[in-house]
Amino acid sequence: MFFAPPVSAGPAEDAARLAWVVRLRWIALSAQVLSITPALAFQLLEPRLLPVFLGVVVALACVNVFTWARLRRSPPPEWRSYTLLLQLGFDIAALSALLALTGGAWNPLVPLLFVHAGIGALLLRGRQSPLFFLLLISCLILLQLFSHVPPGLEGTLLPALILFPAQALVALVFWILTAWLSRTLTTLQQDSLRTSERQTRIDRLRAVGALAAGLSHEFATPLNTAQLKIARLGRREELKNDTDLETAAEALARCQDVLQRMAGAPLRPEGLKLELVQVDELVKQVCSSVSQVNTGASIQVSVEGHEPRRALLPTVAFTQALINLIDNAIEAAGVEEQIDVVVQRRSGQIDVSVLDRGEGWPKVVRTHVGQPFLTTKANGVGLGLYYVHTLAEALGGAFHLEDRSEGGAIARISLSSVTVA
């Protein structure tokens, strides 16, 4: 887009910022040409100074054409770190010259210099930003000292001792606020990139685990068969102390152990650290945390019945599973729609259900629930529901997907309850 801000990163960052400056400069040049007629009409620009005014505009246009031509070269040239500072410096010098011809510091369009203070704070980094601000203040001082006051402004001039401090203060406020905003946005962008990279690594690790789980399933039968065959051979009298047979048996056992470990030991029953948990309280804490992260999301928690709702759970793993389900619900229904999380106890089990008002579960997802890499999302990995399903089974429970009669989807984790005397 024409007004798209320069938010790219990496080697193309300087070129993106220059391209943005070039676009803004074309707009400024158009406005300067259109301002000539009213400036002459209101005696803000004297006819004898018009050639000088047009000369400055043409010079600025030539700089813009040259910069635009270099940006379009293939391969693109390497830009030096001070190129953007020089470009913006030329901009404020040209604008100051035009203002000097039409009233200087008393020209009504002087606030355009304050806009440049914001642009400099936004685009320049390190010491270049305060250096640019000092250059801008210097231009304001020169406008006070060396300006031609046209007839249209005579008799309406404020004293320089009042005007200059006010203009310098406004420019300083513009620069400080924009510099702070720029640094804040840059930090947020970096945090977002780090979070995205971290999530990508986690998804890859999950993908490896899911792939290993599939390999473990596929290799289970041939490995067991090979182990049985070797065990039978080992019972023969002539092969009881055969070192090659023992080595083969150890290798097969190691293969089986490695596949089981890669398949996700934390979600195996023997690998889970179980704690006695008040399920409804844990669910409320998780939903509160998700609400704080997803600003605007409405998550309603309801607890049915008065019986104790305790279960043996791995707190961290269950929390991640519930977050996966709530995130799916928010994505399916939208942040505006309410998400209902219901905790209920019935027939010796505790059900934790997440309900949304989206379009319901696709048939392929309901049919093949629990399979890894199954997703209908454009950027999905297909491991979120797989993780929940695997955890529920590891705990001896169940995971079900249903559609709501009034529209929407239900994801339900069923766990065995624990009665404490």
- 59-95 burial, b at 16+ Cβ within 10 Å, e below that, comes to ebbebbeebeeeeeeeeeeebeeebbbebbbbbbebb
- The yes-or-no verdict on residue 106 having pLDDT over 90 is no
Task: Clarify whether residues 55 and 78 are in a common domain.
Answer: yes
Residue 381 has pLDDT above 90, yes or no: no
**CATH number of 386's domain:** 3.30.565.10
Residue that finishes a domain, picked among 127, 157, 187: 157
What is the number of domains present in the chain? 3
- The percent of residues in the chain predicted with pLDDT above 90, rounded, is 13
The domain boundary residue, chosen from 138, 157, 176: 157
pLDDT band at 64; cut points 50, 70, 90: very high
Looking at the domain assignment, is residue 153 inside a domain? yes
Output the pLDDT for position 58.
95
The label of the residue with tokens 């780090």 reads 194
383: domain range?
A: 275-416
Predicted structure pTM score: 0.47
Give the model's pLDDT for residue 61. 94
- The lowest-confidence range among 2-11, 353-362, 398-407 is 2-11
Do 32 and 147 sit in the same domain of this protein?
yes
378/231: higher pLDDT: 231
Alpha helix locations (H) across 46-124? 50-71, 83-101, 111-123
Contact assessment for residue 81 and residue 43, using Cβ atoms and an 8 Å cutoff = no
pLDDT in tens, 185-221: 888 888 888 777 656 645 655 565 666 667 666 776 7
Report, as an integer, the average pLDDT of 344-348: 83
224 and 125 in one domain? no
Tracing tokens 């005007």 back to the chain, one arrives at: 163
Note whether 90 and 55 are same-domain residues.
yes
Which has the closest alpha carbon to 88: 63, 105, 65, 53? 63
pLDDT bin (cut points 50, 70, 90) of residue 90 is very high
d(CA 190, CA 261): 34
- Looking at residues 113-127, what average pLDDT do you find? 86
How many whole angstroms separate alpha carbon 377 and alpha carbon 397?
27
- Residue 139 CA to residue 116 CA, distance in Å, equals 12
Q: At which of 212, 243, 264 does a domain end?
A: 264
pLDDT score of 172 more than 70: yes
Q: Is the pLDDT assigned to residue 156 strictly greater than 50?
A: yes
| pLDDT, tens digit, 9 for 90 and up, residues 194-203 | 777 656 645 6
Is the pLDDT at 330 greater than 60? The verdict is yes
Percent share of the chain, pLDDT over 70: 81
Give me the mean pLDDT over the 333-341 stretch. Answer: 84
Over 90: is that where the pLDDT of 53 sits? yes
Same domain, 256 and 321: no
Structure tokens at 330: 């928010």
Tell me the H-state helices in 235-314: 243-262, 279-293
Angle CA 284–391–251, to nearest 5:
150
Distance CA 159, CA 105 (A): 11
Structure confidence by residue, pLDDT tens digits, 264-298: 444 555 556 788 888 889 999 888 888 887 777 78
Q: CA of 81: how far to CAs of 14, 127, 196, in Å?
A: 8, 11, 29
Are both 82 and 210 inside the same structural domain? no
